[in-house]
A = this chain, B = another copy of it.
Amino acid sequence: MSGRRLDVLAVGNALVDVLSQESDEFVREHGLERGAMTLVDAPRAEALYSAMGPATEVSGGTAANTVAGLASFGASVGFIGRVRDDQLGEVFTHDIRAIGVDFRTPPASDGAPTGRCLIVVTPDAQRTMSTFLGAASQLGPRDIDPDAVAATDITYLEGYLFDQPEAKEAFRHAARLAHDAANRVALTLSDSFCVERHRTDFLDLVEHGVDVLFANEDEIGALYETGDFDAALAHVRGHCEIAALTRSQKGSVIVAGDDVHVVGVHPVADVVDTTGAGDQYAAGFLFGLTHGRDLPTCGRLGALAAAEVISHLGARPETSLAELARVELALD
């Protein structure tokens, strides 16, 4: 990467979302895990795509959505993730660069095509995701640019990377490089099923390798195997410097040592699609954190970005978040 100092460098799966509206029956018929993200192989992805109705393609990926939010706030951000040198890879690359994100991971010139997330939207506006990782799963330690990590305030990692051994190594490598350079590491647990798959690894990471943790109620409960939010909160308190825990309509709770900050949601006239709320909360929070804001303000910035994204279809902001922060929170 260039010599430019970055606020946040995210490492994640580079995916293109393929969305279609389907009935509840469709979800049942195809044995999909409702509301979850399930990994699928190429033949399964092909069969599912064949069965889906007409679709829309947009760039996605959880950490990539977060850097899109950060860019919209005006942060200087980079992204590391793998596409192939195919048309969907061009779509992903175009979209992320178009918003000013420093994205330089060279596309794979052979192997699986660019990864995609087949998203089935049911009449209740819930999304059921089947991800074919494709080229994204080729991400490895060699893709982590040590100079970029050293020149970055916070390296942000998505939990989904743990689903592939090489990507997991890339993840650990990036975390080590960040700490070696006395920078911070942030992690999002991604989803509760992902936490179930990798609980031991995640517990170890949260205790020893993560400074800022993002999780929703389900995810933090899955991590500590408890349905009691306060119990989970007591666990995480001693494990990482900052934990930002989101609770849907109940807002978020930020835990930092002995401090606990409760932050309400930002008002939304009409909730259209809740996808991406967590990704954008992380964007607002990390923007605050890298711009000298106190923790309650970081939480409010997260709530603001989440409110923007749930007011329309799609997981990336459609309004300038920098402008919204000025107007709605009087932050310059």
Contact = CB atoms under 8 A, between A and B. Distances in A.
B54 A95 contact: yes
Interface in A39-57: 49-50, 52-57
Interface stretch (A83-91, A227-235, A239-247): A83-91
Contacts of A94: 49-50, 52, 54-55
Interface string A302-321: 00000000000000101000
B55 A95 contact: yes
Contacts of A316: 54
B57 A91 contact: yes
Contact of A113 (B57, B59, B87): B87
A112 interface: no
Interface residues of A, number: 26
Interface in A187-230: none
A36 interface: no
23 contacts: A21-B318, A49-B94, A50-B94, A52-B94, A52-B98, A53-B98, A53-B99, A54-B68, A54-B95, A54-B96, A54-B98, A54-B99, A54-B316, A55-B95, A56-B57, A57-B57, A57-B58, A57-B91, A86-B86, A86-B87, A87-B88, A87-B113, A87-B114
